[in-house]
Amino acid sequence: MNCAECGKEIIDEDSSFCAYCGNPFDSKKNKTELLGEGAILLIIAATFTLTIGIIGLMNYQATVAYIASVGGDIAPYLGFLLFGFIDIIMFIPGLLGGLSALFKRRFKFSFIAAILVLCSSLATFIIIQYYAYGYADIVLFSEIPILVFSILSIFLINKSKTEFN
């Protein structure tokens, strides 16, 4: 094995720093920590996703009740129902994937779960833009941590692939 930074050969495989340039290695311990962080980030992202899903469905329900009382077209508000459902459903693989990464089980499942959470976040973003829900700014704002956390968890889970049993 050679140092990724300076390219010199690593003599002491157990060390966590390069003896020549001081570049830190991804030692076993570091990878375990990275995977733990990735798992927690995925669980947080999934929880945020669930929250946004619930907000979407509640918004839809309230709007439907209002439209029913005044009369009008419900079609422009279907987006709330759509991202509400997507986000609530994607919470399940997100949470399970995060837990499985936490216990170092099933790499592929955890990795795909993180991608699903990212996709649901992107879908929510696109739906809000498509339906032009200007007043859903708070939802869009909450999408940012989900995007960041899910991308980070994809990266961290993939980086610590060898940690999985």
Closest separation in Å from C-beta 139 to Zn ion? 46
Closest separation in Å from C-beta 2 to Zn ion? 8
Binders of Zn ion among residues 15 to 44 (CB under 5 A) are 18, 20-21, 23
Closest to Zn ion by CB, 9 or 73: 9
Cβ(94)–Cβ(63) below 8 Å: no
* CA–CA distance, 9 with 12 (Å, rounded to integer): 9
Closest separation in Å from C-beta 144 to Zn ion? 36
3-state class percentages of the chain: helix first, strand second, coil last, to nearest 5: 75, 0, 20
Closest separation in Å from C-beta 30 to Zn ion? 16
Closest to Zn ion by CB, 21 or 126: 21
Which tokens go with 73? 């077209």
- The helix (run of H) or strand (run of E) holding residue 36 is helix 28-70
* CA–CA distance, 101 with 29 (Å, rounded to integer): 15
Binders of Zn ion among residues 63 to 92 (CB under 5 A) are none
- Tell me the per-residue interface mask from 1 to 20 with Zn ion, x by CB under 5 A, - otherwise: --x-xx-----------x-x
Closest to Zn ion by CB, 19 or 115: 19
* CA–CA distance, 27 with 130 (Å, rounded to integer): 46
* CA–CA distance, 42 with 157 (Å, rounded to integer): 9
Closest to Zn ion by CB, 2 or 129: 2
Q: Total number of residues binding Zn ion (CB under 5 A)?
A: 7
Judged on CB neighbours under 10 Å (0-12, 13-18, 19+), 54 is middle
**Is residue 137 part of the contact set for Zn ion (CB under 5 A)?**
no
Closest separation in Å from C-beta 78 to Zn ion? 56
Q: Which chain residues interact with Zn ion by CB under 5 A?
A: 3, 5-6, 18, 20-21, 23
